[in-house]
Amino acid sequence: MGLYIETHVRADLETLWERTQEPDRHQRWDLRFTEISYLPRAEGEPQHFRYATRVLPFLAVAGTGVSAGERHRAGGDRVSALRFASPHPLSLLAEGSGYWRYVPTQDGIRFLTGYDYRPRWGLAGKLADRFLFRPLMGWATAWSFDRLRLWCEDGIAPERSRNRWLLELVARILLVAVPWAAASLPPGPLWLAPVPLTVLGLALAVLVPPSSRTPAARRCLRTPPARHREPRLLAALEQP
C-alpha cells in the first residue's frame, strides 16, 4: 500500500473497534473526514457509506465507499477493509482502497492501516500528490491515530485534544514570531538581539517534544514491517 501508519493503543479491543467502526465516533477523531454516514443495506451485503471533508467554510468534497469487517478471526485479531471514490471535480483523490488491522498484544492493541489511492488531474495531480497531498495525508492519518489513542487510553475527548494541540501550535509560532517582530524595535542589549532570540525560538519550537496529552504524528510508525500484506477481505470488495 502507498501509506502505512501504525500505533499501539493500551485499551480493550471492543472500545477501539467501536470508536473506529461507528461513523459518529469515527468522524470525531479522524482529521481526514468531517462527516461519515452509513447508507441503507440489505442483510449480508457490504456496508456502503458516504463521507465528506470540508476544505473551506462553504465547500465540502464528498464521496462514497463500501466496507466490510471480520470480527472473529482464528488468531484473535480483527480486520476491516474499504474501497472509496469521489466524483467531485475538486477532489484530488479519485478512488482508492485500504484496510485497518487490530492485533491484540499483551498490553493493548496494535492498530494499523495501509491505504493507497489514484489521484486525478493528470500530471499536475501526480506532482501535487507526491510533493504535497500524500505527505499531508500521511501526517493527518498519524496525527489522528494518536488522537484516537489519547481518547482510548486517557479518556481525553478528541475535541479537547485538538484544542490542546492548537494552543501548543500557537505557542510554538509565538516563540519565533515575537523575536522576529522585535526586529522593528530600537536596539537593546546584545543578548536581547532579535536574530539570536529568533534562532533560539525556532530551535525550541522544533526540538521541544509535544505534551504527552497532545496528539503528535511523530509517535506513530510510518514504515511497514518487512513481512507485510493486504488482507484477503480487501480483494473481495468491489469499487463503489
Task: Decide: 32 and 142 in contact? Cβ < 8 Å.
Answer: no
Q: What pLDDT was estimated at residue 54? A: 87
Least confident of 23-37, 58-72, 226-240: 226-240
Q: Where are the alpha helices (DSSP H) in the chain?
A: 13-21, 23-29, 122-128, 134-154, 158-181, 194-207, 232-235
Are 7 and 224 in contact, with CB atoms under 8 Å apart? no
Handedness of CA 44, 50, 24, 80 (dihedral sign): positive
For the chain, which domains are there?
Answer: 3-156+219-235 (3.30.530.20), 162-207 (no CATH)
Least confident residue range of 15-19, 27-31, 48-52, 201-205: 201-205
pLDDT of residue 42: 79
pLDDT at 190: 46
**Share above pLDDT 90 across residues of the chain, in percent, rounded to a whole number:** 62
- Residue 191, pLDDT above cutoff 90: no
Predicted confidence (pLDDT) per residue in 132-156, tens digit: 999 999 999 999 999 999 999 999 9
Phi, psi of 173 (to 5 degrees): -65, -40
Cα–Cα distance between 56 and 102 in angstroms, integer? Answer: 33
CA 84 to chain centre: 16
pLDDT band at 228 (very low <50, low <70, confident <90, very high): confident
pLDDT score at 192: 53
Higher-scoring residue by pLDDT: 184, 55: 55
65 versus 189: which is more confidently predicted? 65
Q: Comparing 193 with 68, which gets the higher pLDDT? A: 68
Averaged pLDDT for residues 22-43: 92
Which of 101-115, 163-177, 185-199 has the weakest average pLDDT?
Answer: 185-199
Q: Which residue has the higher pLDDT, 162 or 45?
A: 162
